[in-house]
Structure 1
Amino acid sequence: MEFVGRKVAAKERAIVANHNLHSLYLFQKRADMRAFYEKADLIEIDSTPMIAWAKLMGHPVSRDHRCTYLDFREDFWALAQTHNWRVYHVGGEAAHNDASKAAILGRFPKVHLDLHTGFFDMKGADNDALLADLKAKRPDVLLVGMGMPRQETWILANLERLPDCVILPVGAAFDYEAGVMYTPPRWTGQLGIEWLVRFFHEPQRLFERYFIEPWWLIPQALRDVWRRRSIA
Structure 2
Amino acid sequence: MIVSRITLLGVVIDPFSIDHLNQCIATAIKQQKRWIIANHNLHSIYLYHRDQKMRQFYKKAHVIHIDGMPLIYWGRILGYKLKREQRVTYVDWIHPLMAMAAAEGWRVFYLGSKPGVAALAAKRLRQRYPALQITTRDGYFQADDNTAVLAEIANFRPHVLMVGMGMPRQERWILENLEHLSANAILTAGACFDYVAGVIPTPPRWMGRTGLEWLYRLYSEPRRLARRYLLEPWALLPLMAHDLWQMVWRGRNFDTQ
Corresponding letter in the other structure for 2:45 = L
Q: In structure 1, which of residues 65, 85, 96 is the aligned counterpart of residue 106 of structure 2?
A: 85
Q: Which residue of 2 aligns with 1:173?
A: 192
User: CA RMSD of the aligned region, Å?
Assistant: 1.0
Corresponding letter in the other structure for 1:191 = T
Deviation at 1:98, TM superposition (A): 2.6
Query: 2:161–2:183: 8 Å Cα contact kept in structure 1?
Result: no
Deviation at 1:190, TM superposition (A): 0.9
Following superposition of structure 1 onto structure 2, how do residues 98-113 of structure 1 map, counting pairs within 5 Å?
A: 98-113=119-134
The answer to whether residue 44 in structure 2 is matched with residue 23 in structure 1 is yes
Once the two structures are superposed, residues 44-78 of structure 1 have per-residue CA deviations (whole angstroms, 9 ceiling, x without a partner) of 10011111111111112121210011111121111
Deviation at 1:177, TM superposition (A): 1.2
Q: After TM superposition, which residue ranges in structure 1, 4 or more long, deviate above 2 angstroms?
A: none
The answer to whether residue 211 in structure 2 is matched with residue 192 in structure 1 is yes
Following superposition of structure 1 onto structure 2, how do residues 36-185 of structure 1 map, counting pairs within 5 Å?
A: 36-121=57-142, 123-124=143-144, 126-185=145-204
The answer to whether residue 54 in structure 2 is matched with residue 33 in structure 1 is yes
Report the identity percentage.
43
Query: 1:11–1:140: 8 Å Cα contact kept in structure 2?
Result: no
Distance, in Å, in 2 between the alignment partners of 1:93 and 1:17 is: 22
Once the two structures are superposed, residues 86-106 of structure 1 have per-residue CA deviations (whole angstroms, 9 ceiling, x without a partner) of 100000111223311111111
Corresponding letter in the other structure for 2:141 = F
SS at match of 1:94: coil
Q: Taking structure 1 as the reference length, what is the TM-score of the superposition?
A: 0.96
Q: Which residue of 1 aligns with 2:223?
A: 204
Distance, in Å, in 1 between the alignment partners of 2:64 and 2:26 is: 16
Q: Which residue of 1 aligns with 2:6?
A: none
SS at match of 1:29: coil
Flag the structure with more relative contact order, 1 or 2, with Cα contacts below 8 A and sequence separation at least 6.
1
Q: Taking structure 2 as the reference length, what is the TM-score of the superposition?
A: 0.87
SS at match of 2:190: coil
Structure 1: runs of 5 or more not aligned:
none
Deviation at 1:131, TM superposition (A): 1.1
Distance, in Å, in 2 between the alignment partners of 1:210 and 1:87 is: 31
The answer to whether residue 27 in structure 2 is matched with residue 6 in structure 1 is yes
Distance, in Å, in 2 between the alignment partners of 1:97 and 1:26 is: 26
Distance, in Å, in 2 between the alignment partners of 1:227 and 1:169 is: 30
Distance, in Å, in 1 between the alignment partners of 2:98 and 2:116 is: 22
Query: 1:99–1:178: 8 Å Cα contact kept in structure 2?
Result: yes
Corresponding letter in the other structure for 1:58 = G
Paired residues in the alignment total: 230
Query: 1:89–1:144: 8 Å Cα contact kept in structure 2?
Result: yes
Once the two structures are superposed, residues 133-167 of structure 1 have per-residue CA deviations (whole angstroms, 9 ceiling, x without a partner) of 22221100000000000000000111111114200
Query: 1:27–1:34: 8 Å Cα contact kept in structure 2?
Result: yes
SS at match of 2:108: strand
Corresponding letter in the other structure for 1:186 = R
